[in-house]
Amino acid sequence: MDSNKYEAFLLAVDHGSLTAAAEYLGYTQSGITRIIKNLEEELGFPLFVRNKKGVTLTENGKTMVPIFREISRALQNVQQISADIRGTVRGNISIGSYNSIAASWIPQILKGFQSLYPGVSISLHEGGNLAMEKALNEKSVDCCFCARLANAACDWIPLCEDEVVAWLPADHPMAKKKAFPISELAKAPFIHTTPGQDTEIDRLLKKLNITPDVRFTTMNAFTTYNMVAAGLGISMDQRLRSHKWNGAVKELSFEPKQFEELGIAVPALSEASPATKKFIKYVRTINISELDG
């Protein structure tokens, strides 16, 4: 079963570079070029436009991406199922994850899973809700650790609820309160992390119909956290994200409390590979609340 040509094509698509695909697969530049050229000759049309920055898909190439993803997944399933029948567990799992979950949960999950199934290799792709939705819809990942996604065609396995909390400077007048009234979000300078990306912040503000006084925007939650510590405004995020950060920031529950359900999204659980099913089964045996990255 020659799956290398499909894997090479998809890696070039994901990285935008034949060189990056070659490095990942351990091929030479000429070797990966020959594989892609042979694939194009088989199909009868070019898949990529080459340029100095790398490669971009032709229109025909774009059409072939979802087809090749399905072929690649099917071939991997054949290999994994045959290994399962022989009594060995082998395969590759591609996992998408929030940055916060990747830092807090994933290391211990992978450590435990690898001790049981050392023949399974795992690649991790981090991102936010929009990146997870895109990956699930394109089936470029086998599963994602994230919040429930509204626009992704997937099966959902809930794991826990994480609290969304307010971040206040340590000397904020309300820092000594037991809770932060949700209505106060609109009454103080606000620092917004990655606005417009369907984050927990975006979702909560939309749900509550609150328009905060946004003074700063950032692309990184740790930057936001440090800006709050510097007294530049207030913000909010998942409690999971900052549970190991140390700074002059007071975390307060909202009044009323706010939660986000976290879990595993799978393109189609019934079609998942044997290795992916074993991974999900293993995760469901863990007490997630006890994980402390």
Share of the chain above pLDDT 70, in %: 96
Kindly indicate the confidence band of residue 158, based on its pLDDT and cuts at 50, 70 and 90. very high
Mean pLDDT calculated for residue range 43-57: 89
Span 187-210, pLDDT tens digits:
999 999 999 988 989 999 999 999
Last residue of one domain, picked from the residues 57, 84, 111: 84
* Helix (H), strand (E), coil (C) string for the chain: CCCHHHHHHHHHHHHCCHHHHHHHHCCCHHHHHHHHHHHHHHHCCCCEEEECCEEEECHHHHHHHHHHHHHHHHHHHHHHHHHHHCCCCCEEEEEEECHHHHHHCHHHHHHHHHHHCCCEEEEEEECCHHHHHHHHHHCCCCEEEEECCCCCCCEEEEEEEEEEEEEEECCCCCCCCCEEEHHHHHHCEEEEECCCCCCHHHHHHHHHCCCCEEEEEECCHHHHHHHHHCCCCEEEEEHHHHCCCCCCEEEEEEEEEEEEEEEEEECCHHHCCHHHHHHHHHHHCCCHHHCCC
Residue 276 in domain:
no
Range of the domain at 218: 160-261
Region 221-237: mean pLDDT is 96
What confidence score (pLDDT) does residue 182 get?
A: 93
Q: Is residue 133 part of a domain?
A: no
Please report, for the domain that includes residue 166, its CATH number: 3.40.190.10
155 lies in some domain = no
Please indicate, yes or no, if residue 279 is contained in any of the structural domains.
no
**Is residue 231, in this structure, part of any structural domain at all?**
yes
Average pLDDT across the chain, whole number = 89
Position 95 in a domain: no
The answer on 252 and 168 residing in a single domain is yes
Which of 32, 51, 84 represents a domain boundary (last residue)?
84
Q: What is the CATH number of the domain that holds 45?
A: 1.10.10.10
Is residue 79 domain-shared with residue 171, that is, in the same domain? no
Residue-level pLDDT at 29:
86
* 165 and 76 together in one domain: no
**Structural domain total, the chain:** 2
